[in-house]
Chains A and B, each alone.
Chain A
Amino acid sequence: MKRMIIPVLSLTTAIFLLGITGCKPKNAGSAAAGDAASRVYVAPGKYDEVYNFVSGGFSGQVTVYGLPSGRLLRTIPVFSNDPQTGWGYSENTIPMLNTSHGFIPWDDQHHLEISQTNGETDGRWLFANANNTPRIARIDLTTFRTAEIIEIPNSAGNHSSPFITENTEYVVAGTRFSVPMDNDNGDVPIDTYKKNFKGTVSFISVDPNDGKMDIAFQILLPGVNFDLSHAGKGPSHGWFFFSCYNSEQAHTLLEVNASKRDKDFIMAVNWKKAEEYLKQGRGQKQKVKYAHNVYSDETHQATSTIKDEVVVLDATQFPDLVYAMPCPKSPHGCDVDPTGEYIVGSGKLAALIPVFSYTKMMKAIENKDFDGDYDGIPVLKYESVLHGEVEKPGLGPLHTEFDAHGNAYTSMFLSSEVVKWSIKDLKVLDRAPTYYSTGHLMVVGGDSKKPYGKYLVAYNKITKDRYLPTGPELNQTAQLFDITGDKMKLLLDFPTAGEPHYAQAIPADKVAPKSLKIYDLMKNKNPFVTMGEKEARVERKGNRVDIYMTMIRSHFNPDNIEGIRVGDEVYFHVTNLEQDWDLPHGFAIKGANNAELLVMPGETQTLKWVPEVSTVYPFYCTDFCSALHQEMQGYIRVSPKGSNVPLTWSLDKKSDATVEPDAAQ
């Protein structure tokens, strides 16, 4: 119901604003730059300049687009299962979606962050958060595959995530919903929120060599809603800034009850200080339960480990660990400019944009320039930490990114526009309408120390009439702007998948040269690998049947299997013997109630199959592999329970005397 109301409200707002501004172009034709077509045209066979990683929202996945063309390059399965690739269905990948709540094959994927070195995107990994069942995923940018997923305990709604420190020392997670802590008695009345509900922010360490994640520590904070965050950089490296709303601590009708106070907060966390306290052994160990899932490119298998402990620092016990900076009207975006000096808060109900100064914040802390405390967290005086306010930027500022020339770009949800302003003097320089109601936006490298700039993409929440209608549901729309000049220029609209909440982009030459082409068959350490057709076989142990099968253009070995019985648990361990780029083979069997497999060159994947009816089942390759792809098939005979049909397997066994070798030879 709520989802229906929002568009109606925003449409009303849009109509209202159209009425008052009267300058909104009537159609795209008048809005797009004259040479837009040539600016986004990437000729056949040419590559895009930039990789654009876009969060999938309720799809649970991540999509990859090329810019400036807006061409969809790939969908990466992350938190939701994907029948196309077998992700979350194959025995190899099922453990990746394990949690302390069991197997969870979906989520709401909100934000993304590319790993950084010295504050610059380095193209090694892409981090993605799960907003529903709190998790963080790490995607390997050599394979474009999810390599690791870690669950976050003491959290509910991992929204303010997965932002990173400038050398990817940590990736953070801040809870959107405050809740009773995992090892407290959670069976409490909801209206005891103020007493029993707490917020946490988690710091997950990232191994600089292999990217492996581990929850280093959590900071216990008052019960509020944490929304977004960004790390300090340069001079402010060592600090992390989290926006939060619902400082009213409402637990019902938040729409009204969490919008009462004039100001909520940006919480400034001194994580270097937290490290010192941990070293002194002052963290408290808490019993919790969370899953840590890792995919190996050597075994082509995932393992899921349930861990049972985190170290927690209670912020109220460490007065110099966390400070609250008052920020108007339910702040959403919390963005640090490339110099690391300015922190931009975007109050989504505000009519101005406050910009905080790191230098002033440090001075205010030194002078104890406090305005009391909030549940034990010292509150800094607004005026003492403020660099200034951008006056009349538009309505409903949500999120800000930066270029390399001292300019900031803020998305305005209510007034449906992108506003460019100068960080130095806080003057609005330009504004461009968006279609419609832009949520997040992204500048290439726009949250790093060295923005690449050039392009800005606005991710809009409402699509309406932008494309040919497709029934009640429309894909959400992205809009590409050229930001090289004084004025932003609209270049292109393109539809997106799911609901993008944030995106990242990186010049192609930081990622493309490292892209893996094949998995080396010689290094395949899968316990069920079939190293060449000589080793193809079928083994039975009780009612478990293991089929060691190979695939190559264009046949399976074995392709005739008999002696399977109803009720057997059959495991197809399929190894793709190809060592050539872009030559996956598919494996699909009639009646499979899970999915197919798509097996990359040099890889082994396993599909479980429990036949329920005695008959002959066909299987075949689903990925067009050669002129004889349609011949890449086989049969498996399933006999009734207790049958004594012997277990046999073969390829090209000429048992029938009428079959002659192909005369065409």
Chain B
Amino acid sequence: MKKILIAFSAALFMISCGGPSGGYQPGESEEAGEKATIEDYDPHRGEGNFKDYQPPAKLDATMAANGEKVYDLKCASCHKLSAEMLVGPGWKGVTELHSPDWILNFMTNTDEMLDKDPKAQAMLEICMVRMPNQNLTDDDAKNVYEFMRKNDGVK
């Protein structure tokens, strides 16, 4: 119980000091949470560039191969391909746990999602490390998603 409490307060601390992830605005910095409007948040989709993303009907092997390269460079440090947790959760089954939009938005809009999304925040309480925004382009993210699908057995 004590551990959970510590985890929770640590998560709160990390959220509150997440800080600005956007660009320079003349005269003022972006204050975390100032612009957040929780009421219209869609926890199924998450928030970011992706909406109603439809993955290819069959696995796109080229996309998955490109995604694997990005995984090796930017994701493998913390995510195993099994279900076992390393720093972050293992990826086995991840495409069945969340919608494509949610995963893609979390990959590309990490800080905002960590500030708003209940599932992301619950995961932060377990992992204790904010997922780094690894600056994936939207195409990188789609490729990584395809690699996740491959890892989950999609043919």
Closest Cβ of chain A to B9, distance in Å, is 10
Chain A residue contacts of B74, Cβ below 8 A: 521, 532, 577, 579
C-beta contact mask, A572-586 vs B, less than 8 Å → 1, else 0? Answer: 000001111111000
Find the B residue at minimum CB distance from A550. B77
Stretch of A302-310, A368-376, A510-518 lying at the B interface: A510-518
C-beta contact mask, A645-665 vs B, less than 8 Å → 1, else 0? Answer: 000000010000000010011
Chain A residue contacts of B134, Cβ below 8 A: 578-580
Find the A residue at minimum CB distance from B128. A627
Report whether A553 and B87 are in contact in the complex, using a CB–CB cutoff of 8 Å: yes
Report whether A554 and B87 are in contact in the complex, using a CB–CB cutoff of 8 Å: yes
Report whether A626 and B129 are in contact in the complex, using a CB–CB cutoff of 8 Å: yes
Check if B122 is an interface residue, CB within 8 A of chain A.
no
* Interface size band for A: 35 or more
Closest Cβ of chain B to A522, distance in Å, is 8
Report whether A555 and B128 are in contact in the complex, using a CB–CB cutoff of 8 Å: no
A550 vs B130: C-alpha distance when bound (angstroms): 18
Check if A2 is an interface residue, CB within 8 A of chain B.
no
Report whether B23 and A513 are in contact in the complex, using a CB–CB cutoff of 8 Å: yes
A609 vs B64: C-alpha distance when bound (angstroms): 41
> Is the contact region of chain B dominated by helix, strand, or loop, or is it mixed?
loop
> Is the contact region of chain A dominated by helix, strand, or loop, or is it mixed?
loop
A532 vs B76: C-alpha distance when bound (angstroms): 7
Chain A residue contacts of B129, Cβ below 8 A: 553-554, 626-628
Check if B153 is an interface residue, CB within 8 A of chain A.
no
Report whether B26 and A47 are in contact in the complex, using a CB–CB cutoff of 8 Å: yes
Chain B residue contacts of A532, Cβ below 8 A: 72-74, 76-77
Report whether A513 and B24 are in contact in the complex, using a CB–CB cutoff of 8 Å: yes
A278 vs B10: C-alpha distance when bound (angstroms): 67
Report whether A626 and B76 are in contact in the complex, using a CB–CB cutoff of 8 Å: no
A522 vs B130: C-alpha distance when bound (angstroms): 22
C-beta contact mask, B1-28 vs A, less than 8 Å → 1, else 0? Answer: 0010000001000100001010111111
* Total A-B Cβ pairs within 8 A: 87
Check if B62 is an interface residue, CB within 8 A of chain A.
no
Check if A508 is an interface residue, CB within 8 A of chain B.
yes
C-beta contact mask, B76-113 vs A, less than 8 Å → 1, else 0? Answer: 11100000111100000000000000000000001000
Closest Cβ of chain B to A384, distance in Å, is 48
Check if B56 is an interface residue, CB within 8 A of chain A.
no
Tell which of A508, A534, A581 touches B72, judged by Cβ atoms closer than 8 Å: A534
A497 vs B31: C-alpha distance when bound (angstroms): 30
Find the A residue at minimum CB distance from B78. A552
Report whether B85 and A512 are in contact in the complex, using a CB–CB cutoff of 8 Å: no
Chain A residue contacts of B78, Cβ below 8 A: 552-553
Find the B residue at minimum CB distance from A583. B132
Closest Cβ of chain B to A574, distance in Å, is 13
Contact of A46 with B132 at beta-carbon distance under 8 Å, contacts A534-B72, A554-B87 already known? no
Check if B49 is an interface residue, CB within 8 A of chain A.
no
Find the B residue at minimum CB distance from A551. B77
Find the B residue at minimum CB distance from A536. B77
A583 vs B134: C-alpha distance when bound (angstroms): 11
A positions within 8 Å CB-CB of B: 45-47, 49, 508-509, 512-513, 515, 518, 520-522, 531-534, 550, 552-555, 557, 577-583, 626-628, 652, 661, 664-665
B positions within 8 Å CB-CB of A: 3, 10, 14, 19, 21, 23-29, 31, 72-74, 76-78, 84-87, 110, 126, 128-130, 132-135
Q: List 7 A-B contacts (CB under 8 A).
A: A515-B24, A533-B76, A534-B72, A579-B132, A579-B135, A626-B130, A664-B3
Instruction: Please provide the 9 A-B residue pairs with the shortest distance between their CB atoms, ordered closest to farther.
Output: A579-B135, A532-B73, A512-B24, A532-B72, A552-B77, A579-B134, A580-B133, A580-B132, A626-B129
